[in-house]
Amino acid sequence: VQLQASGGGLVQAGGSLRLTCTASGSIGSIAVMSWYRRGPGKRRELAANITSSGNTNYADSVKGRFTISRNNAKNTVNLQMNSLSPEDTGVYYCHALTVDSDFDLTDYWGRGTLVTVSS
C-alpha cells in the first residue's frame, strides 16, 4: 500500500484546510485509515481515523472542528479541518492499517504534509 498525502499549507487562525490521502496498491485490505500529527516539540498523536465501515474516532482536541471522511471508490481519505488554531500546527501523516487473510496487521505511512496556522 502506498499513501500520498496532500493539502497542507499556511492558514490564518480560524481558517480551514482540507487534507487528502490517496491510497494505491493492495487497498482492498485496508481496515482503518487515519491522520496522525506531530506538532513542534510534541509527540505524534492520532487526530482522527475511520474504519472501512465508516466508523470514526477523533482526538478530543479536534472534536467538533475536524471531520474525517473516506471515499472508497476513489481510494481517498480526507480530513476537513475548520476553526484552525496555532496549536494545530504540525506535520500531518496519513496512515493505513491493513489486515490480511491470516488476520496479520500491517502499518503503512505516507509522507507528511505540513500544516502551519498563524496567529
Q: What is the pLDDT along the chain (119 residues), one digit of tens a residue?
A: 899 999 999 999 999 999 999 999 877 788 999 999 999 999 999 999 999 899 999 999 999 999 999 988 888 999 999 999 999 999 999 999 998 888 899 999 999 999 999 99
Name the β-bridge partners of 117. 11
Which residues touch 55 (CB under 8 Å, ≥6 apart)?
none
The Cα–Cα gap between 68 and 92 comes to 13
pLDDT reported for residue 100: 87
pLDDT reported for residue 59: 98
